[in-house]
Amino acid sequence: MNNNIAIVIYYVNPKNFSNLPIEYTWTQATYYRILACEYLHLSISKILYLDSDILCLNPINELFNYQFNDNIALVIGNIETKNRYIKSLNLNFKNTFYFNADVMLINITVWKKHNISSKFISLLSTHNDFKFFDQDVLNILLSNMIINISDRYNYICPLIANNSNINTDTIFVHFAGSTKPWQTWAKYHKLTKIWLSYKEKSPWYNQKLLSPQTYKQAKFMAKILKRNHKHLLSIYWYFKYSLWKIKYKLKYLFII
- Give me the chain's average pLDDT, please: 86
In this prediction, residues 137-146 reach a mean pLDDT of 89
What's the pTM? Answer: 0.84
Residue 35 is predicted with a pLDDT of 83
What is the pLDDT averaged over residues 64-72?
Answer: 91
- Measure the CA–CA gap between 54 and 155, rounded to whole angstroms: 9
Quick: pLDDT tens for 78-135.
766 666 666 655 556 667 788 999 999 999 999 999 999 999 988 888 877 777 888 8
pLDDT at 85: 64
Mean pLDDT of 143-156: 92
Please give the pLDDT value at position 9.
84
Q: Rounded to an integer, what distance in angstroms lies between the CA atom of residue 130 and that of residue 136?
A: 6
Going by pLDDT thresholds of 50, 70 and 90, the confidence category of residue 20 is confident
Contacts with 13 (C-beta within 8 Å, 6 or more apart), sequence order: none
pLDDT band at 25 (very low <50, low <70, confident <90, very high): low
Please state the rounded mean pLDDT for residues 219-234: 92
Q: Which residues pair with 98 in a beta bridge?
A: 78
User: What is the average pLDDT across 13-20?
Assistant: 77
User: Of 161, 140, 123, 135, which Cα lies nearest the Cα of 51?
Assistant: 135
- The full set of domains in the chain, from first to last, is 14-153 (3.90.550.10), 179-255 (no CATH)
- 3-class DSSP state for residue 99? strand
Question: How would DSSP label each residue in 140-181?
Answer: HHTTTSEEE--GGGSEE--TTSTT----TT-SEEE--SS--T
pLDDT of residue 256 exceeding 60, the answer is no
Can you name the residues that pair with 49 across neighbouring β-strands? 104
Gap between the Cα atoms of 138 and 119, Å rounded: 10
231-255 vs 215-227: helix crossing angle, rounded to 10 = 160
Lowest mean pLDDT among 61-75, 155-169, 233-247: 155-169
CA atoms within 13 A on the CB side of 9: 1
